[in-house]
Amino acid sequence: MVQAVTIWINVNKHVIAANAKHGRNDPPIRISKGKTGKPTYAHEVAWDGPSRIVYDAGKPVLKCGARLAIAVEGEVKVVR
């Protein structure tokens, strides 16, 4: 049986801070396949199917350091 890979979505607060400080508009939404996959960044994403929001105050949910993330069990579409 093939297991589906979870898509993880989180917001990079450092990108948001740099955008505010330097007047930029870099995409802050980080999307990765699995917990350690190479990330894609976006301004807006959409998905169908089951998802859950995961938070852990004790340790990061993802390797990037995110403590809050959305886990999607389906396809994620980058809108822009």
Checking if the pLDDT of 70 tops 80, the result is yes
Residue 2 lies in a domain: no
CA distance 78 to 38: 15
Checking if the pLDDT of 2 tops 80, the result is no
Residue 1 lies in a domain: no
Q: Which tokens in the block code for residue 15?
A: 């990108």
Query: Which comes out higher in pLDDT, residue 19 or 36?
Result: 19
Tell me the DSSP string of 18-37: HHHHHT-----EEEEESSSS
Q: Which domain holds residue 55?
A: 7-78
Checking if the pLDDT of 17 tops 80, the result is yes
Residue 18 lies in a domain: yes
User: How many domains does the chain fold into?
Assistant: 1
